[in-house]
Amino acid sequence: MNFTLNYLSRGLQSFLELVNDSLSVICDIILAMRVIVTGGHLTPALATIQELKKQPNIEIIFIGRKSTIEGDKTPSAESTIIPKMGIKFIPLTTGRLQRRFTRYTIPSLLKIPFGFAQALKILLGVKPDVILSFGGYLAVPVVVAGKALNIPVITHEQTVESGLANKIIARFANKVAISWEQSLKHFPSKKAILTGNPVREEMFNLKRVKTMKKLIYVTGGNQGSHVINETLLSILPDLLDKYEVTHQTGSSEVYKDFEMAKAKYLTLPKRVQEKYKFAKWFEGNEVAEILSKASLVIGRSGANMVCELAIIGVPAIFIPLPYASHNEQTKNAQVLEQIGAAVILPQRELTAKRLLAVVEMIMEKFDSYQKKAKEAKKLVPKDGARRLVEETLALGNKTKSLAR
């Protein structure tokens, strides 16, 4: 009799434990916060996603571009990288207001209403608790659709001077997180919060490595830059006489810069081929390794590039995107130029001869430029990603509390 009662008691206890565990799992699912991440600035998004993934009960969905640029079917960096991180990627097709008239201008305008309709459909299906935008034309329909559905929105502005897309987004956002104190004047004081720019963890943990020869890293960003690539390749043999060069070409099927770099590589003498490394793009850990060895970086001056170079203390030659909204890339570059850590070379002045001359000038005064570059670290908050995540979760939690 006692044996039977003990057996039944243990069975009942096991059953109750199973029910309790099941209820815990169900509660976790119910209480989990669903965060939509969207926008065209991938680097700070990746840094913030790293931080979001540290939080319990967070489900992340990314809405982004399927291809790089209009008229080019090459897969975008986000459509390749995000799924590898175990995060659901949802492509969105929309248009934008172009600053230059091209054969894609009219088709792009016609895509704008479609983008809003598609964004509404996605959000109704996903039912997120909060939307975290990283600006750009792609985020506009997602944010406006979110506002229409009463989903809270926080947007992050990476640049010193806000672009057109983020000025539109800011009107619909509940909060506007900014990277630089100078940007406060561009947004309503009730919405604006200074978080700093989210920077990937590997940048803060990066240790500089001394190399036998100075390494120059050339990059046009995730999409690459045709004009920078062409100019570099025309002076590549001169550079390789003295330096090593690592080159991120981008993956455009229109310009075929990667194929152009490969053809140039094959013309180089075998003794210098090993000093030139090139790829369509590099993963985050690869970029960190390259920057740990780089003596000089040549590239655009997006906010993320400027921040990362300030953190690791590498001199730069910035070639700002000439048609960026409100000349924002030049203003980003001026942050480091003004302290003597970088040189701005406007694209209208970019020639092979001029680029080579600026490289040689920096290398001749390398100790001075490197010293100033190291001092730039104090300009960038180390906890930008953490601050942005805290603000995002606070906004999402407020909505969940009201829903209850």
Identify the residue whose tokens are 């229409």.
Answer: 148
Would you state the pLDDT for residue 223?
A: 76
What the block records as the tokens of 55 is 């939080």
Return the pLDDT at 98.
62
**What pLDDT, on the 0 to 100 scale, is given for residue 261?**
97
Mean pLDDT by 10 residues, the chain (404 residues): 57 58 45 90 93 95 84 81 95 76 67 91 97 94 96 94 87 95 86 92 85 93 88 98 96 89 96 95 88 97 91 96 83 94 97 98 97 91 93 85 49
- Rounded (5°) CA angle 31-33-37: 170
Domains and CATH numbers, the chain: 10-199+382-403 (3.40.50.2000), 202-379 (3.40.50.2000)
Side by side, the strands of the sheet bearing 342-344 are 276-279, 244-248, 215-219, 294-299, 316-318, 342-344
pTM of the shown model: 0.77
